[in-house]
Amino acid sequence: MAGQGSGAARGAGVCLLAGLLALTGCAAQEPEGPARAEVQSLLDRHAAALLERDEAGYLAGLDPALAPAARTEFERLAPIPLGGVRYRVTDVDPAGEGRATARAELGYRIKGYDSGPATSERILDLAERDGRWYVTGERAADGTPQQLWQQGEVTTVTGRRSLVLGVGQSQERLREIADAADRAVPAVGDAWPSPWAGRIVVLVPASVDAMGRLLGAPAASYRGIAAVTTGRIGGGPTAPADRVIVNPEAYGVLGEFGRRFVLAHETTHVATRVQTTAATPLWLSEGFADWVAYRGTGRTPAQAAPELARAVRAGRTPAALPDDREFAFGGEAEAMARAYESGWLACLLIAERWGDERLTDFYRAVGAHPQREGALEKALKDVLDTTPEEFTAEWREYLRERLG
């Protein structure tokens, strides 16, 4: 018992001594890094020099060892018509004597195309020399997408309503994609009367693996997907810019109809982005994009929904509209196809039964709801004067009529 008491007293004394050292400033101090404002000023100068095409100014804040790589990146950015570049410092941490690490959001706008910036999170390593701080390294944060110009020399093709940026692609290939995008934009505008930019930016990497790096996701998830659209749903007119990213391998094996369809589908996502929110189920957003892309093509439900037609003919008519999980990339291809086809036929039913204008009104009404719960119920009642149960029953009957 005496030994335990003595140990406790010594422990209390150690704690008291440590407390006194901390109070008097005698404890070991963390090394100080640069103030956030100092790092922000450094990166502001760096971004301004890039925008002004001032190579010497662009390199001035970088460690000399970074100069060759930075000069290459500077040259790769030259074909891209930048309308704005900005770093927004979010955190600065000391990393040892004369060293620090900063986190920043990089945002850039393409002149004439972006109302808001395309953004990515960056990690910057900093070092102090002769009282000044320099950037010694820059990389994407974990899980953050790579930028196209970091993958190689960028080729640019400007369409009437599109800008196509590619790496490892011929000028002819990019021109063909720009032509398809130029046809898609007015077609989408005819179907979606709400205001939108009326132009799109398309990125075409060298491979599906490079596509995965642009998306910050495993390439295997996108191997059979011809294109995807990035962007933040429901973010308003200044939300981060959309990019249509083409999988050159899957897109390359499509025929002319398939290529036009893909660009129209993805362009619809760009056009409807502001009205698409967390309240919008994927069957509606994907089904509506398919409805726009098929509009005016003359394709019948049996032609455009083969997987769902097989299920209906086999007596396996879906009991309910697909939930979001059924649209996940990397799952069973036939099941995902049935989900897309189900959403398209639900939108086609609304267009045929209530009219095109009611369909777009319905889409906006669902997205305007503050949350997913209750969104469909309210929009079905307010816009279509029906209930989820009645609409589901009518949709199932519609599938049997059109696909059976």
Confidence check: pLDDT of 325 > 70: yes
Confidence check: pLDDT of 400 > 80: yes
Task: Return mean pLDDT, the chain.
Answer: 89
CA Rg value for the chain: 27
Look at residue 375 in the predicted model and tell me its pLDDT: 97
Q: What is the pTM of this model?
A: 0.87
Look at residue 333 in the predicted model and tell me its pLDDT: 85
Q: Regarding predicted confidence, which is higher, 80 or 329?
A: 80
Confidence check: pLDDT of 257 > 70: yes
Q: Regarding predicted confidence, which is higher, 330 or 399?
A: 399
Confidence check: pLDDT of 202 > 60: yes
Question: Which range is least confidently modeled, 12-21, 205-214, 245-254, 384-393?
Answer: 12-21
Tell me which residue of 348, 349, 318 sits closest to 335, measured CA to CA.
Answer: 318
Contact 325, 265 (CB under 8 A): no
Question: Region 205-212: what's the mean pLDDT?
Answer: 96
Confidence check: pLDDT of 31 > 80: no
Look at residue 55 in the predicted model and tell me its pLDDT: 96
Indicate the burial class of 392 (C-beta count within 10 angstroms; 0-12, 13-18, 19 or more): middle
| Chain centre distance of CA 209 | 17
Q: At what angle do helices 388-403 and 306-313 cross, to 10 degrees?
A: 90
Look at residue 339 in the predicted model and tell me its pLDDT: 96
pLDDT in tens, 2-19: 333 333 333 333 332 233
pLDDT in tens, 369-380: 999 999 999 999
pLDDT in tens, 283-295: 999 999 999 999 9
Indicate the burial class of 386 (C-beta count within 10 angstroms; 0-12, 13-18, 19 or more): middle
The encoded tokens of residue 285 equal 């957003």
Query: What's the one-letter identity of residue 181?
Result: A
Confidence check: pLDDT of 148 > 90: yes
Percentage, residues of the chain above pLDDT 90: 77
Look at residue 239 in the predicted model and tell me its pLDDT: 62
In the chain the first and final C-alpha atoms are separated, in Å, by 87
Look at residue 158 in the predicted model and tell me its pLDDT: 97
Question: Region 318-346: what's the mean pLDDT?
Answer: 92
Look at residue 234 in the predicted model and tell me its pLDDT: 59
Q: Is 25 left (phi over 0), alpha (psi -120 to 50) or beta?
A: left
Look at residue 238 in the predicted model and tell me its pLDDT: 55
- As a three-state string, the secondary structure of the chain is CHHHHHHHHHHHHHHHHHHHHHHHCCCCCCCCCCCHHHHHHHHHHHHHHHHCCCHHHHHHCECHHHHHHHHHHHHHCCCCCEEEEEEEEEEEEECCCCEEEEEEEEEEEECCCCCCCEEEEEEEEEEEECCEEEEEEEEECCCCCCCHHHCCCEEEEECCCEEEEEECCCHHHHHHHHHHHHHHHHHHHHHCCCCCCCCEEEEECCCHHHHHHHHCCCHHHHCCCCEEEECCCCCCCCCCCCEEEECHHHHHCCCHHHHHHHHHHHHHHHHHHHHCCCCCCHHHHHHHHHHHHHCCCCCCHHHHCHHHHHHHHCCCCCCCCCCHHHHCCCCCHHHHHHHHHHHHHHHHHHHHHCCHHHHHHHHHHHHHCCCCCCHHHHHHHHHHCCCHHHHHHHHHHHHHHHHC
Q: Domains of the chain (ranges plus CATH)?
A: 36-144 (3.10.450.50), 147-271 (3.30.2010.30), 277-404 (1.10.390)
Look at residue 96 in the predicted model and tell me its pLDDT: 86
pLDDT class of 219 with cuts at 50, 70, 90: confident
